[in-house]
Chain A
Amino acid sequence: MTDAEKGYLDNITEAIYQILNGKDTQHLKLPEDYPDNEIRQVTSYLNKLISEYNEFSQAMQLLSEGELKNYISSGKLSIQQSFKTLQSNLRHLTWKTQQISNGDFTQQIDFMGDFSTAFNSMANQLKDAFEKIESQNKELKIANEIIQREKEKSDKLLLNILPVKVANDLKTTGTTKPETFNNVTVFFSDIVGFTKLSANLEPFLLINELNEIFTTFDNIIEKNHCERIKTIGDAYLAVCGMPNKDDNHAENIVKSAIEIIHSLNHKNNHSKIKWETRIGIHTGKVVGGVVGIKKYIYDVFGDTINTTSRMESNSNPMKINISESTYQLVKNKFDFIEREPIEVKGKGKLKCIL
């Protein structure tokens, strides 16, 4: 063996050593005119091995970092083929996982030994958990719908007994403060001879009649932007200008009163039982607030309420008796008959208008 051949053999040994010790290995070079002998053949094979090994190392590095996009080129090295199969399986698993993450739990992995068993078990458990959550969501949705329906019912009930603004205050803050309203017109009515009439009627029929009358009152009051406060037996109390301010409070109440008289006349024309009412109206300052902590009621207080009651008691059947203060607000909108001042209990003589 020549010294040159020994040198090339040393280079080959060094290259193999570098591969075995995980170092970068470069191709070996021989002079172009180097004879076609065993040294050239070994060098050629070793260079091919170095190429494929380097490519494989780079691909394994990328794979270890989770990079699956780059395909490694084909080769006859057994380890290279196994790597390509592994890469293909990982790409397939990635796709399967994406399908499962999109909600397709029918995806399964086959022919991958223990991995298939574990993956499919995971997919099945995810499917069970997802179905359980879906089922719970459905139950929750039904429960929410029931709650929503009940809430709507309770809201409706609340609005039946309280003005919208007060009901909303109670719902959002749990409380509502009493408030003074300076410009409110109050409506008070009473059925004439109710006690006497009711004594001759069956209780069921009596309640039906009263219900029909007050339902009509309610509709008229609501239509004219007024607020029914309460009924006390056969008496009916309503206001306008509170809790929401309304510049037409007096006009709205008088209009309601006229319509109520008309409605009662209409009913009497079509019924054997004849009902008559007296109506009193007054305008002034009113305090409004919720009374009690159970069976809430929004009530109104103040001298204006008392005066309205006096107006009512001094009215005539099927007439509307309004005070001077109300008259001044609506005198140009309706026709009136001025009465002689009336002695009102606790108030002295008051000017009234029919």
Chain B
Amino acid sequence: MFKEERTESKFNWNMLGNIQDGRPNLGSSMDVSVYRLMQFTLRDIIIKEFDVATANKIYYQAGKRAGEALYENAITKKDNINEFIVELQDVLAQLKIGILRVEKADLEKLNFTITISEDLDCSGLPICDEEICVYDEGFIDGLLSAITGKKFKVKEVDCWCSGDRICRFEATVIK
């Protein structure tokens, strides 16, 4: 299941398991630092074993798959993009992933400017002049691709790590 060889994604929501049954005492929440511990040690080793480009590619694709899975399993408003955004804001806040806000949404050209504050991945990290939220880029790509049925390119243009308080993403449809 988890360790099968594969050429295509075999991830499904059931792989997250029954957390209430499995963690009756500790529950479904954990410290953000633990999440980041996994994120950045994983990134560290991938870069060491391969390179930065490979790490970014893996993180983007994993994020995209996560976005698609979240859309499939946690989103109910799938007919109207504005209703979808309202629900997505709620879901991301409830799951404590971050506070999503939309600065611009051109529904004809399918261009979006989206910000995430209090981001799970980066808010509070040391400032290092890098945009670090590659996983988030893929995550937003997966969500937008799922709701629109189009392919997207998502780029982080402002990040906590590059000196901002919020992460800003530009999402454009690939024609």
Interface, chain A (partner B; CB < 8 A): 71, 74-76, 81-82, 84-85, 88-89, 91-92, 94-96, 99, 104, 106-108, 110-111
Contacts and interface: CB of A to CB of B under 8 A. Distances in A.
Given A85-B165, A95-B105, A110 B158 contact: no
Nearest to B86: A106
Contact of B99 (A71, A99, A110): A110
B100 to A, nearest CB: 10
Contact of A110 (B89, B103, B162, B163): B89
17 contacts: A71-B158, A74-B158, A75-B163, A81-B165, A84-B164, A85-B165, A88-B168, A89-B101, A91-B103, A92-B115, A95-B104, A104-B86, A106-B83, A107-B86, A108-B86, A110-B99, A111-B117
B42 interface: no
Interface of B: 82-83, 86, 89, 93, 99, 101-105, 113, 115, 117-118, 127, 158, 162-166, 168
Nearest to B83: A106
Nearest to A74: B163
Contacts of B117: 85, 88, 111
A88 B167 CA distance: 10
A81 B99 contact: no
B166 A84 contact: yes
Contacts of A108: 86
Contacts of A94: 103
Nearest to B167: A88
Nearest to A92: B101
Given A84-B165, A91-B113, 11 more contacts: A74-B163, A76-B127, A84-B166, A85-B165, A88-B103, A88-B115, A88-B166, A88-B168, A95-B102, A106-B83, A111-B99
A188 B104 CA distance: 81
B104 A76 contact: no
A111 B89 CA distance: 11
A76 B105 contact: no
B162 A74 contact: yes
Contacts of A92: 101-103, 115
Contacts of A71: 158
A74 B105 contact: no
Contacts of B115: 88, 92
Contacts of B103: 88, 91-92, 94-95
Which 6 residue pairs across A and B have the least CB separation, nearest first? Answer: A91-B103, A92-B101, A74-B163, A85-B165, A81-B165, A95-B102
Contact of A84 (B101, B105, B127, B158): B158
A76 B82 CA distance: 34
A78 B113 CA distance: 23
Contacts of B127: 76
Given A76-B127, A88-B115, A106-B86, A81 B163 contact: yes
B163 A99 contact: no
B165 to A, nearest CB: 4
Nearest to A82: B165
A190 B32 CA distance: 104
A111 B105 CA distance: 21
A207 B99 CA distance: 83
B48 to A, nearest CB: 28
A79 to B, nearest CB: 11
A345 B86 CA distance: 93
A91 B104 contact: yes
A74 B162 CA distance: 7
Nearest to A77: B163
Residue in B93, B101, B117 with the greatest tally of chain A CB atoms within 10 Å: B101
Contact of A76 (B86, B89, B158, B163): B163
B108 to A, nearest CB: 14
Contacts of B164: 74, 81, 84-85
A27 B102 CA distance: 38
A99 B84 CA distance: 13
Nearest to B113: A91
Contact of B93 (A95, A96, A110): A110
